[in-house]
Amino acid sequence: MLRHIVMKAVFVLLSLAHTEVASTESSALFSEPSYAKWGKLAVLETKKMYQDASIVDYKYEGRKMLPSGQANESFVLWVHKDTKEFGVRVVMTIEPSTDQLVSLKLTEINAE
């Protein structure tokens, strides 16, 4: 009888331990990338600039460190407006030590 209770307790404890590992693994799989904050800002600023358009695609081009110690975060958003589609490159200069935006530049690319 005592052995049966101990076995159940061990089984319950092992089940709980496995659940914690699984939830940790899944949260790592679904965590936001480091550039998510800047990507949201890129989308927001593009929507402001092209109010009657829809954003149909989004690509993170990467971070480039500048000699000044600042960094450029670069994105390309594909925009559909009326009958044309074109890209908009959004380059944000940020101060990595404070995580603050210094400047933002939008440039149309591949306009047809």
The predicted-structure confidence for 59-103, as pLDDT tens digits, reads as follows 999 999 999 999 999 999 999 998 999 999 999 999 999 999 999
Separation of alpha carbons 8 and 74, rounded Å: 55
Q: Mention every residue, 6+ apart, whose C-beta is less than 8 A from residue 108.
A: 86, 87, 88
Percentage above 70 pLDDT, the chain: 72
pLDDT at residue 33 is higher than 80: yes
pTM: 0.71
pLDDT at residue 11 is higher than 80: no
Q: For Cα atoms 93, 98, 99, give the angle at the middle one, nearest 5 degrees.
A: 50
Query: What are the structure tokens assigned to 95, written together?
Result: 């101060």
Q: Kindly indicate the confidence band of residue 104, based on its pLDDT and cuts at 50, 70 and 90.
A: very high
* E strands present in the chain: 54-65, 71-81, 84-95, 100-109
Q: Within a 10 A sphere around the Cβ of 104, how many other Cβ atoms?
A: 15
pLDDT at residue 20 is higher than 50: no
Q: Average of pLDDT values for 39-48?
A: 96
